[in-house]
Amino acid sequence: MSIHLVLIDALNLIRRIYAVQERPFLLNNELAENTKQQVLFNTEQACCKALSNIIDIHQPTHALAVFDSKQPCWRYQLYPDYKKGRKKMPEHLAERLHQIQDAFMEQQVDSLEPDEDEADDIIATLALKVALRGQQVTIISTDKCFLSLLNHNIHVYDYFNRRYLDQSYVKDKFDVKPAQLLDLWTLTGDTTNKIPGVQGIGQVTASELLNSYGSLNALLVANDLKASIKEKLDRHIEQIELSKQLLQLKQNIPLGFNLKDIRLANDEQ
């Protein structure tokens, strides 16, 4: 049977929808207590409509909404400043997530909330397992981390701008191939998640180096680098190792379920 699995980065979808619904009600960047329930109701309705649109657009055989663990993930143990300063989810929205999950289930799309992993790692693990079987996967997210997974069988779709973030997009935005993105971000850092890179190496320099040498590993052992570049790399070698570990999506998480468990009922033969 031909499979098309849609994996929804649930909090990426929900929090962006919530921000749109919240905006008209904000006063001095605060939400009044008497409007919170209205914003939450509007968010839930908009999320259900988005899910319906996603199913209509992509016509998947299988689908799953993946949430982050409520507990800090393993990356915080490696690097306590991971995502430091990032705006937290409003408590009233966090308390509403189970109702959104129930609403998704009414559309036959189950949700997965891992014990200790981030949604990114779960999605990467499942996407690669399915892709290795020669089947199609579409990841619904605007998170750039998934671009490193792009291949013939794995696609990334930006629901909000109604476009695929494909290899041409990666080339235009980062000037490297998808397989080189992890190395690029290891060099430049990832400001969104507060992961530092090599001080003094920006995206232009990093992409030029990777296009010349192919990979970060090749770059680190090259004997014809400019002295200034080599000095920066040597000075940050421990940071490079840590940043690459933080940026790498896990690909071998035990999932505890089969594809048949997330098959859409209307696709049953």
Question: For position 20, which CATH number holds?
Answer: 3.40.50.1010
Assigned domain for 264 exists: no
Domain boundary among 170, 191, 214: 170
DSSP string, 33-97: HHHHHHHHHHHHHHHHHHHHHHHHHH--SEEEEE---SS--HHHHH-TTTTTTPPPPPHHHHTTH
Average pLDDT along the chain: 95
Q: Do residue 188 and residue 166 come from a single domain?
A: no
| Residue 194 domain boundaries | 176-247
State how far the Cα of 109 lies from the Cα of 98, in Å rounded to an integer.
13
- Comparing 51-65, 67-81, 148-162, 235-249, the range with the smallest average pLDDT is 67-81
Q: Do residue 60 and residue 28 come from a single domain?
A: yes
Q: Do residue 44 and residue 12 come from a single domain?
A: yes
pLDDT tier for residue 27 given thresholds of 50, 70 and 90: confident
User: 46-62 pLDDT, tens per residue?
Assistant: 999 999 999 999 999 99
| The predicted structure's pLDDT at residue 72 | 87
Domain boundary among 145, 170, 195: 170
Assigned domain for 254 exists: no
More confident residue, 241 or 71: 241
Q: Do residue 107 and residue 180 come from a single domain?
A: no
Assigned domain for 160 exists: yes
According to DSSP, residue 28 is labeled T
Examine the pLDDT at 269 and tell me if it is beyond 50.
no
User: 168-196 pLDDT, tens per residue?
Assistant: 999 999 999 999 999 999 999 999 999 99
Examine the pLDDT at 209 and tell me if it is beyond 70.
yes
Indicate which CATH number applies to the domain containing 206.
Answer: 1.10.150.20
pLDDT tier for residue 148 given thresholds of 50, 70 and 90: very high
- Comparing 77-86, 96-105, 137-146, the range with the smallest average pLDDT is 77-86
Q: Do residue 204 and residue 125 come from a single domain?
A: no
State how far the Cα of 260 lies from the Cα of 257, in Å rounded to an integer.
8
Q: Do residue 180 and residue 108 come from a single domain?
A: no
State how far the Cα of 120 lies from the Cα of 153, in Å rounded to an integer.
18
Mean pLDDT of 102-118: 94
Q: Do residue 36 and residue 164 come from a single domain?
A: yes
Examine the pLDDT at 265 and tell me if it is beyond 90.
no
Q: Do residue 132 and residue 189 come from a single domain?
A: no
| The predicted structure's pLDDT at residue 267 | 54
Domain boundary among 170, 188, 219: 170
Mean pLDDT of 253-267: 87
State how far the Cα of 53 lies from the Cα of 160, in Å rounded to an integer.
11
Assigned domain for 268 exists: no
State how many domains the chain has.
2
The alpha-carbon radius of gyration of the chain (Å, integer) is 20
Q: Do residue 189 and residue 161 come from a single domain?
A: no
Assigned domain for 203 exists: yes
Q: Do residue 75 and residue 14 come from a single domain?
A: yes
Assigned domain for 256 exists: no
More confident residue, 30 or 44: 44
- Comparing 69-78, 179-188, 203-212, the range with the smallest average pLDDT is 69-78
Print burial letters for 231-247: b (CB count within 10 Å at least 16), e (below 16): ebbeebeebbebbbebb
Q: Do residue 46 and residue 158 come from a single domain?
A: yes
- Comparing 15-24, 158-167, 201-210, 248-257, the range with the smallest average pLDDT is 248-257
Assigned domain for 262 exists: no
- Report the residue count for the chain: 269
Cα 112 to chain center, whole Å?
15
DSSP string, 252-263: -------GGGGB
Q: Do residue 155 and residue 205 come from a single domain?
A: no
Q: What share of the chain in percent tops pLDDT 70?
A: 99
